[in-house]
Amino acid sequence: MSPTRNSHGSTAARIIVIVADVMAAILGLWILMYLLDANRANDLVQFIHDAARWLAGWSHDLFTFDEDWARVVAGYGLAAVVYLFIGHAVAGRLRRY
């Protein structure tokens, strides 16, 4: 195995981990903002909400808990965990090659 190929895999793995971590951080930040009842008229809060909604489009309202906070935590939290798991798993595979 050539050192150049391994360094490319390592670089790609780092990029994938960073992207997955940023995606999970945005989702986690929205959960925190929701639970702390952040001002939705604020531009930053609106940006985080829009980004989180897009990232968790597939898991948003997946669960039907009676409490709104439980739906937000479960739906957005599931997306964050999936992105972390898949991102770190793919990065781990790239580092091995």
The whole-angstrom distance between residue 77's C-alpha and the CA centroid of its chain comes to 8
Which structure tokens are listed for 64?
Answer: 């039907």
pLDDT in tens, 41-68: 999 999 999 999 999 999 978 888 899 9
Which structure tokens are listed for 88?
Answer: 């770190």
What pLDDT is attached to residue 72?
Answer: 94
Strands (E), 1-97: none
What pLDDT is attached to residue 96?
Answer: 84
pLDDT in tens, 36-46: 999 999 999 99
What span, in angstroms and rounded, lies between the C-alpha atoms of 8 and 94?
9
CB-based contact 82:30 (threshold 8 Å) = no
CA atoms within 13 A on the CB side of 82: 11
